[in-house]
Chains A and B, each alone.
Chain A
Amino acid sequence: MRPEIAPESVPRLPRHVKLRHDKARDRWLILVPERVLVPDDTAVAVLSRVDGARSVRDIATDLAQTYHAAVDVILADSIALLQDLADKGFLAVTEPRHA
């Protein structure tokens, strides 16, 4: 079943999901099988930081600094957004390490 996103999860985009800036239309796009999605600014900000190395918490911390916002709010938003993509099969995660 679909992975559950937690603050310590390390998300990555699987091979069949491409985030790219489209020159012809001048916008960010997510390419997936048989579909093309247009991410909003929040999704672009989060997804462009998804690299298979940083955890969701790392990403939220980075965003909080960049946009001068509260890290808790950003963390909750990021989890919701990433969970939605994971539910659709568009995001993979490395399981959180349990201490």
Chain B
Amino acid sequence: MPEDHAADIQLVSRAGEDTGRSHGLPLAVLAEITHRCPLQCPYCSNPLAMEPGSNELPTADWLRVIDELAELGVLQIHFSGGEPTARRDLGQMIARATEAGLYSNLITSAVGLTRDKLAALVEAGLCHVQISVQGAEPALADRVGGYRGGHARKLEAARWTRDLDLPLTVNAVMHRQNLHQLPAIIDMAVGMGASRLEVANVQYYGWALKNRHALMPTPAQVEDCTATVEAARDRLRGVLEIDYVIPDYYAKRPKQCMGGWGRQFFNISPSGKVLPCHAAETITGLEFDSVRDRPLAWIWEHSKALNIYRGTDWMPEPCRSCEWKEADFGGCRCQAFALTGSAGSTDPACAKSPLHDHIFALAETEAGEERNRFIYRNLSGGTEEAGPA
């Protein structure tokens, strides 16, 4: 075995190694530059009240913010949305990020891409592309995305990505309507030339919470899913790396959300608000600071919304005295809010939460009810799927 000459980075503060702190220099930022999107996925992580185009941060502000990000120590920027390619100044932003030394990743539905558009982004310094898929074949995938012809365009965009010599990650959001296609999705990802596949089970807040009746998997599906992933990982070692997290409602311990609230990562919303994660706006009562009003460095240190759940001091029992509190930071605040009404309680995905059994039972019942009709995501508050339920 050769010794490892390159280890994963550990969190540091500006003063050097300092693991005792509640946060370090941020490693990555998710830049949600718009909520506009041609697709209408019923699990979309955007808030129910989306920003209209007129509220979006103008180009000049984004360019300034990108410089501030680099100055602050951010290393990677993920351009996301909504659909980031819906903004015509995306190329300008990527070019600025490249100049500032940031590593640019594009998280896209790929539906609005053309080969020329993508080539221009690569020219501007784009390093990696992540394309989301909704299923393994057009009928189901286009139904989930609420966009006819979308699936075929994704496959085409994947080809351009590989032609342009960029690595590709495929992101597959999984739920009751598409879990049976997981084996075919894995094969498809290999065929698309992806080096990574994210098998992402739906997280239930925002639009997904509104659609939980149609999305919640059955326990049997989850079991199959885990087995499929494990077998594929073995079979595809060195070909396709598969990221997989077991769905929260069926887990015993919560996942470590965002590597800890405000610890190493943040999100900038289309209007310029700095959020600890992409779903944080679903928590009502938190006030977020905006890059329109304050320098980023100030926000990262002083924003109340970032500080409130940083570290472990805010924790109630059972987390406060739990041996795992530094490992999972008490789970997901957005999920705690969605399920308990309080963002400051233990994530009910945890078996130690008094609500755990209740949400497990709820999930099981809901999954068995066969209410399969989606409410599609859009700027007018959602549209119910046509046809029989």
| Interface positions of A (Cβ within 8 A of B) | 1-2, 14-16, 18, 20, 22, 24-25, 29-31, 33-40, 42-43, 80-81, 83-85, 87, 89
Contact = CB atoms under 8 A, between A and B. Distances in A.
Binding site of A, secondary structure by majority: helix, strand, loop or mixed?
mixed
Interface stretch (B33-41, B69-77, B174-182, B276-284): B69-77
Contact of A31 (B10, B73, B103, B196): B103
Contacts of B2: 80-81, 83-84
Given A18-B103, A18-B127, A25 B6 contact: no
Contact of B127 (A29, A33, A36): A33
B294 interface: no
Contacts of A15: 122, 127, 165-166
Interface residues of B, number: 30
B117 to A, nearest CB: 17
Given A16-B166, A33-B196, A81 B5 contact: yes
Nearest to B71: A24
Contacts of A2: 238
A76 to B, nearest CB: 10
Contact of A29 (B4, B9, B165, B166): B9
Contact of B169 (A25, A29, A33, A80): A33
Given A24-B14, A33-B128, A83-B2, A16 B9 contact: no
B369 interface: no
A25 B73 contact: yes
Contacts of B101: 20
23 contacts: A1-B238, A2-B238, A14-B165, A15-B165, A15-B166, A16-B128, A16-B166, A16-B167, A18-B103, A20-B101, A22-B75, A24-B25, A29-B9, A29-B75, A31-B75, A34-B196, A36-B76, A37-B8, A37-B9, A38-B6, A81-B5, A84-B2, A85-B6
Interface in B203-244: 238
B27 interface: yes
Interface of B: 2, 4-10, 12, 14, 25, 27, 71-73, 75-76, 101, 103, 105, 122, 127-128, 165-167, 169, 195-196, 238
Contacts of B167: 14, 16, 33, 89
A89 to B, nearest CB: 6
B166 A36 contact: no
Contact of B8 (A22, A33, A38, A43): A38
Contacts of A87: 238
Nearest to B4: A84
Which of A20, A36, A37, A40: most chain B Cβ within 10 A?
A36
A40 B7 CA distance: 8
Nearest to A19: B6
Given A34-B76, A38-B6, 5 more contacts: A15-B165, A33-B127, A36-B76, A39-B6, A40-B5
